[in-house]
Amino acid sequence: MPGLEDLYREIILDHYRSPRNRGELASPPATRTEGFNPLCGDEIVVYLDIDDTNTVTDIRIGGTGCSISQSSASMMSAAVRDKTIVEVKALTRAFKGMMSLHESSLDTEAELDAEAAEAEAQADAGVKLGDLEALRGVVKFPVRIKCATLAWNTLLQGIEEATEAS
Amino acid sequence: MSTVQATRTFDVAKVKADFPLLQRVLEGGPIHYLDSAASSQKPQVVIDAMTTYYETINANVHRGVYEIAEAATNALEASRIRLGQFIGAPSPETEVLFSKNATESLNLVARSWGGSNLGPGDVVLLTQLEHHANIVPWFQLQAEKGFEIRWIPLTADAQLDLTNLDVLLDGVKILALTAMSNVTGTLTPVAELTARAHAAGALVCLDACQSVPHQATDLVALGVDFAAFSGHKMLGPTGVGVLWGREALLEAMPPFLGGGGMILNVTLDGFVPADLPAKFEAGTPPVAEIIGLHAAVDYLDALGMDAIREHEISLTAYALHALTERFGEQLTIHGPAGAHSRGGVLSLAMEGIHPHDLSQVLDQHAVCVRPGHHCAKPLMKVLGVGATARASFYIYNDTDDVDALADALAEAADFFSF
């Protein structure tokens, strides 16, 4: 049986105790997106500022949740700031891959044109998970994977809303 | 000489020995199953009853003329009568309907009775204690029929606040309420509320899912018009539930699901529904499960429902005392303070520890509790929490289970202490 230390790494508890980028952004111009985990009742809010170069210039996290969902959201917020949407999507793919959720493309359009596919491949190659690696142990606790991915799914939804609006 | 009759008691260790699953040793140690409010474990006799059905009389019911088909039909109908007896149904042969679970039973009432009796200007009265199964079907119907939904509020200790009941009851056509909260264990004053609802011209639909498994049920004394419960929370299998309703009401209601078994006649122009109870039992019923539920009810009655309630009161009192003593204000136990006003359900909130994390630590010691909103999000909002960790007791739980819970909670508090 995997032990608690496999799940609750020190860095996770640190982000849980002192979450980064907690708060709100004025919306609009920021997008405000709610995510729900219907199983446990956790709710998360992601505020996103994306500029006209498709870069995440600011992000804030609201809502409540367990240590896994909250620390994942906190680390995510630190990791995506100043990244382009393409980079953020690549990071999300890598994170979900670490959670054993493999998605060939996160875009809803089935076909990417050659240029976009190239950019995606390049972004995938450049991904560094960094602190997020600490969440790798979650895979051993399959029920908790949804906790770890809640913020990321909400982020993707926020990006979709932001790019649709622009 | 005292005239007070001593309540029967039972030996929990012997009861526990009847449950194969409770003999398991999990990775975290011997199992401490504290999630019976979600689903109970099954004694060997229930498992055997279903196996015996499959091995000896497996055949579809109400159709074949051969020996085993008749035996299967007889076993099913005997179960109907037995279930009716168990809840004090006056006419079990027509008033006890088998469904998939309490959720389907409540949907049946909303769709069939509500669909033909509710419209603009009408009011459905619910309580803030309700499970989603007694909320969402009414919302679904409201979207079509346009009636009003009102809520009986709660006091600070999660009991029904009846201060303004007369005002709330004005214009109400049906009061749909739980007999026992699956989150706080709150017991509601069903008989009193039913009398007042009837006086105001309203019917009463009881979600008896948490009460029927844990205390004696007498529908005549309660006075309600419908009662719904699930088999799997009362030692029976999954996939079978019951709806009891007054015969006159059921007679007047249109069928819920259509299909085989629920018709008297079908032509190219339409159909004529069958008589009760077949009218509300479309398709092949869960025969094995119904027979399993019959065995479960026999098992419960052999222990005695009053003895079961006494056992749970004393275990709940022990838990409330032990946990409060050990953790003080660090631990919040939602709901009524006294063991007599509640069922054996403890929704716990440990300061600074999310219920999901708490339950994860408990799992390391094979203490099985349920984190989450327990399908009662409006209630969670009233309690001011997003989730709780819920421990619930049944006939096979003892003070060892409570002690294991307390020890694991202490470890969680230690692990997450900042």
Q: Do A147 and B356 touch (CB under 8 A)?
A: yes
For the record, the structure tokens of B267 come out as 């032509």
Closest residue of B to A146, CA-based?
B356
Q: Do B387 and A147 touch (CB under 8 A)?
A: no
User: Chain B partners of A39 at a C-beta cutoff of 8 Å?
Assistant: 372
Q: B385: distance to nearest CA of chain A, Å?
A: 9
Q: Do A4 and B373 touch (CB under 8 A)?
A: no
**Looking at residue B2, what is its pLDDT?**
45
For residue A41, pLDDT over 90 is answered with: no
Q: How far is CA A118 from the centre of its chain?
A: 22
| pLDDT tens figures, B137-167 | 999 999 999 999 999 999 999 999 999 999 9
DSSP code of residue A55: B
Name the strand (E) or helix (H) holding B279.
Answer: none
Q: What average pLDDT does range B359-386 have in this prediction?
A: 94
Higher pLDDT, A120 or B217: B217
Closest residue of A to B371, CA-based?
A40
Q: Do B27 and A42 touch (CB under 8 A)?
A: no
For the record, the structure tokens of A103 come out as 């998605």
What is the CB neighbour count within 10 angstroms for residue B201? Answer: 11
Name the strand (E) or helix (H) holding A132.
Answer: none
* Chain B interface mutation, best of A42, A43, A70, A138, highest count of B Cβ atoms under 10 Å: A42
Which A positions 37-76 lie with beta carbon below 8 A of chain B?
Answer: 39-43, 64-68, 70
Give the one of B361, B364, B372 whose C-beta lies nearest to A40's C-beta.
B372
Q: How far is CA A109 from the centre of its chain?
A: 20
DSSP code of residue A61: E
CA angle B281, B285, B288 (to 5 degrees): 150
ipTM: 0.82
For residue B279, pLDDT over 80 is answered with: yes
For the record, the structure tokens of B288 come out as 């094995």
**Dihedral over Cα of B13, B16, B20, B22: its sign:** negative
DSSP code of residue A40: T
What's the topology of domain B12-30+304-415?
Aspartate Aminotransferase, domain 1 (3.90.1150)
Sequence length of chain B is: 418
Comparing CA positions, the residue from B139, B50, B82 lying closest to residue B377 is B139
For residue A9, pLDDT over 50 is answered with: yes
Is residue A17 less than 8 Å (CB to CB) from chain B?
yes
Say how far apart CA B327 and CA A15 lie, in whole Å.
Answer: 26
Single-letter amino acid code for the residue at B321: H
Domain regions of chain B by residue span: 12-30+304-415, 47-302
For the record, the structure tokens of B316 come out as 């709940």
Helix A145-165 vs helix A85-98: crossing angle, to nearest 10: 160
For the record, the structure tokens of A153 come out as 């799914």
Single-letter amino acid code for the residue at B156: A
One fold for B12-30+304-415 and B47-302: no
Q: Do B356 and A1 touch (CB under 8 A)?
A: no
Task: Give me the active site residues of B, please.
Answer: 375
User: Chain A partners of B352 at a C-beta cutoff of 8 Å?
Assistant: none
User: Chain A partners of B357 at a C-beta cutoff of 8 Å?
Assistant: 8, 66-68
**pLDDT above 70 as % of chain B:** 98
| Domains observed in chain A | 4-165 (3.90.1010.10)
What is the CB neighbour count within 10 angstroms for residue A38? Answer: 11
| pLDDT tens figures, A48-68 | 999 999 999 999 999 988 999
Q: How confident is the model at residue B418 (pLDDT cuts 50, 70, 90)?
A: low
* Class of residue B269 by CB neighbours under 10 A (exposed 0-12, middle 13-18, buried 19+): exposed
Q: Which CATH architecture has domain B47-302?
A: 3-Layer(aba) Sandwich (3.40)
**Phi, psi (degrees; rounded to nearest 5) at A81:** -60, 135
User: Chain A partners of B380 at a C-beta cutoff of 8 Å?
Assistant: 41
User: Chain B partners of A4 at a C-beta cutoff of 8 Å?
Assistant: 360-361, 364, 415
Residue partners of B171: CB distance under 8 A and separation at least 6: B121, B122, B123, B148
Is residue B355 less than 8 Å (CB to CB) from chain A?
yes
The 10 Å CB-count burial string (b at 16+, else e) for B286-306 is bbbbbbbbbbbbebbeebbbe
For the record, the structure tokens of B93 come out as 């042969």
**Looking at residue A5, what is its pLDDT?**
82
CA angle B371, B373, B374 (to 5 degrees): 85
Is residue B418 less than 8 Å (CB to CB) from chain A?
yes
Residue B140 and residue B164 in contact, taking contact as beta carbons nearer than 8 Å: no
Walk across the sheet containing B331-334 and list its strands: B331-334, B345-350, B388-392, B370-372
E-assigned strands of B9-127? 25-26, 29-30, 32-33, 96-99, 123-127
Place of tokens 């998939």: B100
